[in-house]
Amino acid sequence: MASYKEKKLFTPGPLCCSRSVKEAMLHDVGSRDVNFVNCVRYIRKTLLEVAQVSAEEFTAVPLQGSGTYSVEAVINTTSPRQGAKVLILSNGAYGRRMNSICSWAGIEAIFQEFPEDKKIDLSAVESLVKGSVQYTTICVVHSETSSGVVNPIREIGQLVRQFQPNAAYVVDAMSSFGAVPIDMKTCHIDYLVSSANKCLEGVPGFAYAICRTQHLLSCKGNCRVYSLDLVDQYLNLEATGQFRFTPPTHTMLAFQRALEEYQKSGGLEGRAGRYRTNRRILKEGMKDLGFKELLDDSHEGYIITSYFFPKHPKFCFSTFYSKLSELDQVIYPGKVTKADCFRIGNIGYLFPEDMEHLLKCVRQVLGDMGLQVPLDA
Q: Which of 46, 68, 233, 329 binds ligand PLP (CB under 6 A)?
A: 68
With beta carbons less than 8 A apart as the criterion, state whether 293 and 343 touch: no
Q: Which stretch binds ligand PLP (CB under 6 A): 172-180, 183-191, 316-324, 358-366?
A: 172-180
Q: Which stretch binds ligand PLP (CB under 6 A): 25-33, 125-133, 171-179, 276-284?
A: 171-179
Q: What angle do CA 37, 43, 44 make, to 5 degrees?
A: 90
Rounded to whole angstroms, how far apart are CA atoms 112 and 261? 39
Rounded to whole angstroms, how far apart are CA atoms 50 and 12? 21
Query: Could you give the C-alpha distances from 85 to 82, 96, 113, 223, 372, in angstroms and in order?
Result: 9, 16, 16, 14, 53
Interstrand relation of 191-195 and 168-172 (parallel, antiparallel or unpaired) = parallel
Q: What are phi and psi of 61, to 5 degrees?
A: -120, 105
Quote the least distance from Cβ 193 to ligand PLP, whole Å: 8
CA-based end-to-end distance of the chain:
44
Residue 94 interacts with ligand PLP (CB under 6 A): yes or no: yes
With beta carbons less than 8 A apart as the criterion, state whether 169 and 78 touch: no
The site map against ligand PLP for 244-283 (x = CB under 6 A) is ----------------------------------------
Q: Is 182 left (phi over 0), alpha (psi -120 to 50) or beta?
A: beta
Residues 122-141 that bind ligand PLP (CB under 6 A): 141
Helix (H, G, I), strand (E, B) or coil at 158: helix
Using the minimum distance from each CB to ligand PLP, give the nearer residue, 13 or 310. 13
Count of residues that interact with ligand PLP, criterion CB under 6 A: 13
The site map against ligand PLP for 176-195 (x = CB under 6 A) is -------------------x
DSSP per-residue string spanning 125-153? HHHHHHSSPPPSEEEEESEETTTTEE--H
Residue 147 interacts with ligand PLP (CB under 6 A): yes or no: no
Q: Which of 8, 12, 16, 112 binds ligand PLP (CB under 6 A)?
A: 12
The site map against ligand PLP for 195-234 (x = CB under 6 A) is x---------------------------------------
Q: Which of 59, 76, 145, 278 binds ligand PLP (CB under 6 A)?
A: 145
| Beta-bridge partners for 209 | 61, 193
Q: Which of 72, 116, 172, 190 binds ligand PLP (CB under 6 A)?
A: 172
Using the minimum distance from each CB to ligand PLP, give the nearer residue, 85 or 343. 343
Quote the least distance from Cβ 13 to ligand PLP, whole Å: 5
Quote the least distance from Cβ 243 to ligand PLP, whole Å: 18
Residue 117 interacts with ligand PLP (CB under 6 A): yes or no: no
Q: Which of 36, 51, 67, 329 binds ligand PLP (CB under 6 A)?
A: 67
Positive or negative, the CA dihedral 253, 259, 265, 271 is positive
Residues in contact with ligand PLP by CB under 6 A are 12-13, 66-68, 71, 94, 141, 145, 172, 174-175, 195
